[in-house]
Amino acid sequence: MPGMPFPLADLLSRASTRPTSEPEWDVDAAPDTPWPLVEEWLTAAVDGGVLGAGTAVLATATADGSPSARTVLVNDVTENGFWFATSAESPAGRDLAENPAAALVLHLREQSRQLRVTGAVARGDAGRGAAAFRARGGRSQAITLAGRQSEPLPDDADERIAAAVQRLEQDPGSVDPRWTAYLVAPAEIEFWQSRHGTGEVRLRYERDGDAWRRARLWP
Ligand SMILES: Cc1cc2nc3c(=O)[nH]c(=O)nc-3n(C[C@H](O)[C@H](O)[C@H](O)COP(=O)(O)O)c2cc1C
């Protein structure tokens, strides 16, 4: 059919999947809890120059199960879980208000690693939301303040952003109260690594009360 560029199977078969490095991982020496491994893998990714090491695909769903996913910045990991921030009024924020559960996928692609996290989501306090807002670049702050995330772009968007830039210049402490920090408290964390020649290794931690159950998974 004219205008249809399909199929794209040949193109996709040429896509590079070759990692830059495949770090060592002694899965038999895995710790009792996932946290030291989370720290080890994120350190290796950040120090190894993995592009977007601090980003994750966040999957949410409405109360009736309609799914959506988008990339977010993971701005902290604590003993409680993984933190990110978005507008409480965005589609993601609305999903989380009615169905406070999510999945995060951190693809550390240059190292052939993947971290999968699923769990209940809780809202951080206003201070955490404000800190996440302030950590954004000035223009991102202005864009957030000036409109509604994921709504159609209005004709006067540039004027509204310019006004928000001015407002931030006059009052650099301005924050958008809609910008909200969210915590994914993992019920499950899976570490996945592929190594040339030896194949894929998967290790899942499942929360069991205060402890964690560990299991190798069939790849
Ligand atoms: C690398 C990258 C990082 C992003 N980080 C964030 C973020 O931390 N928070 C956010 O709200 N959107 C972030 N976005 C934009 C989101 O992917 C998305 O467009 C936005 O959150 C609206 O999603 P929604 O309409 O599903 O709510 C990022 C996009 C990319 C590509």
Asked whether residue 20 is domain-assigned, the answer is no
Asked whether residue 22 is domain-assigned, the answer is no
Q: Mean pLDDT across the chain, nearest whole number?
A: 95
The C-alpha atoms of residue 157 and residue 165 are separated, in whole angstroms, by 12
What's the token pair of residue 164? 């928000």
What's the token pair of residue 53? 């090491």
Q: Which residues pair with 64 in a beta bridge?
A: none
In this prediction, residue 29 carries a pLDDT of 95
Ligand 1, atom nearest to 95 Cα: 27
Asked whether residue 210 is domain-assigned, the answer is yes
Asked whether residue 44 is domain-assigned, the answer is yes
Asked whether residue 87 is domain-assigned, the answer is yes
Domain of residue 90, CATH code: 2.30.110.10
Asked whether residue 55 is domain-assigned, the answer is yes
Asked whether residue 152 is domain-assigned, the answer is no
**Domain around 61:** 29-136+177-216
In this prediction, residue 3 carries a pLDDT of 87
Q: Total structural domains in the chain? A: 1
pTM score: 0.96
Give nearest CA residue, ligand 1 atom 22. 150
Cis omega (within 30 of 0) for bond into 7: yes
Asked whether residue 161 is domain-assigned, the answer is no
Ligand 1, atom nearest to 150 Cα: 25
**CB of 119 within 8 A of CB of 178?**
no
- Residue segments in the chain with a per-residue pLDDT below the cut of 50: none
In this prediction, residue 138 carries a pLDDT of 86
pLDDT in tens, 155-164: 999 999 999 9
